[in-house]
Amino acid sequence: MRKGQNPAKFVKDVARPERITAALLNYIPFLSGFYAETLDVLKVSLESMRKDAGLPFDLMVFDNGSCVEVREFLVKEKEEGRIQYLILSEKNMGKGGAWNVMLMGAPGEIIAYTDADVLFSPNWLKRSVEILETFPNVGMVTARPFRTPPEFYEGTLKWARESATLDEGQFIPWETFLEFNLSLGQTEEENKKVYAETRDWRIVYKGVTAMAGASHWQFTAYKSTLQQFLPFDMDKPMGQVRQLDKRMNDAGLLRLMVSDPLAMNMSNTLGYLRGELKAQNAKRKAGFGKRVLELGPIKKMLLAVYNKIFNWYYS
């Protein structure tokens, strides 16, 4: 039998969520080997995201089965008011499974999604939302220009040719192009050829400039748009995330990027902040042994062995 009245009945007002939810997906299973610096990377990413985003937002973090140390850090961030919504998954649901929860459950009208290794620059969110709200029928906006597969923005170019000012050229500076690709483990030499043989597409609409292309690692979109593509049925934890890129293009939605770099991939170390990317690239070019390891068949074999060992310990 109930005793007394629930005090919640007398509450007159409840807190309303911000219009924008920044949603970060994290996975750090242990703090050694590949993941030795990833907790530090996560901390830097969170700090850069909050610093002068240009617009207010609530922060949602989905942790995909990380180790105890990482979960304790996130719980402390939540208790101290730096994370508004924290979801701790017991197991790794993969990116698709996490997206199903995050993109459906985020309370904001706009969702600014990010992987946990992204370094943000001031006004990254304001600039992204400006493009989202100015251009029509936008699927997603990424806060950095880089060269993405053309087959994923065919619909964007088709619209731009008919309804906006569209120019083709080398609009992304070489240093900006190289900076991002070095963070993916590529070399300067291989990127010189790619840069020379590819182009950028710049779109101007109602006085706002954007670049054609976007990517699943960081994007801003309307929640209602993202829900059109849910649920994601991915049977692997990684490697299938371009489903979102493809589905949006096939649906004729615009996939756009801001015109200057406001987000950067840090990967699994703070080497970018320490200025190590170019030094690593020079070392990579100079080392014969490293070049041998980069040969396709050898690299494939060694990565397969690495993945097998990883699965034995952590699957």
What integer pLDDT is reported at residue 2 of this predicted model? 67
Amino acid at 31: L
- pTM more than 0.75: yes
- Specify whether 247 is located in the same domain as 140: yes
32 domain-assigned: yes
- Specify whether 310 is located in the same domain as 185: no
What integer pLDDT is reported at residue 275 of this predicted model? 85
pLDDT digits (tens, 9 = 90+) for 74-98: 999 999 999 999 999 999 998 989 9
206 domain-assigned: yes
270 domain-assigned: no
pLDDT digits (tens, 9 = 90+) for 208-266: 999 999 999 999 999 999 999 988 876 665 556 788 899 999 999 999 999 999 999 99
- Specify whether 239 is located in the same domain as 117: yes
Q: In the predicted model, is pLDDT for residue 280 greater than 60?
A: no
- Specify whether 149 is located in the same domain as 231: yes
- Specify whether 26 is located in the same domain as 170: yes
Please report, for the domain that includes residue 219, its CATH number.
3.90.550.10
What integer pLDDT is reported at residue 296 of this predicted model? 61
pLDDT digits (tens, 9 = 90+) for 92-131: 998 989 999 999 999 999 999 999 999 999 999 999 999 9
13 domain-assigned: no
- Specify whether 145 is located in the same domain as 98: yes
Q: In the predicted model, is pLDDT for residue 291 greater than 60?
A: no
How many domains does the chain contain in total?
2
- Specify whether 218 is located in the same domain as 310: no
156 versus 12: which is more confidently predicted? 156
- Specify whether 247 is located in the same domain as 294: no
Sheet holding 138-142, edge to edge: 85-89, 58-64, 20-26, 110-115, 218-222, 138-142, 254-257, 208-212, 200-205, 165-169
What integer pLDDT is reported at residue 288 of this predicted model? 47
- Specify whether 219 is located in the same domain as 307: no
What integer pLDDT is reported at residue 242 of this predicted model? 80
224 domain-assigned: yes
Q: Please state, in angstroms and rounded to a whole number, the distance separating the CA atoms of residues 119 and 20.
A: 19
- Specify whether 152 is located in the same domain as 294: no
88 domain-assigned: yes
14 versus 258: which is more confidently predicted? 258
194 domain-assigned: yes
- Specify whether 308 is located in the same domain as 203: no
Q: Please state, in angstroms and rounded to a whole number, the distance separating the CA atoms of residues 202 and 263.
A: 18
110 domain-assigned: yes
Domain that holds residue 212: 20-265
Q: In the predicted model, is pLDDT for residue 143 greater than 70?
A: yes
Q: In the predicted model, is pLDDT for residue 279 greater than 90?
A: no
Residues of the chain with pLDDT > 90, as a percent, come to 71
What integer pLDDT is reported at residue 184 of this predicted model? 85
- Specify whether 69 is located in the same domain as 140: yes
- Tokens 């790794």: give the residue: 92
To the nearest 10 degrees (0 to 180), the angle between helices 68-79 and 38-50 is 20
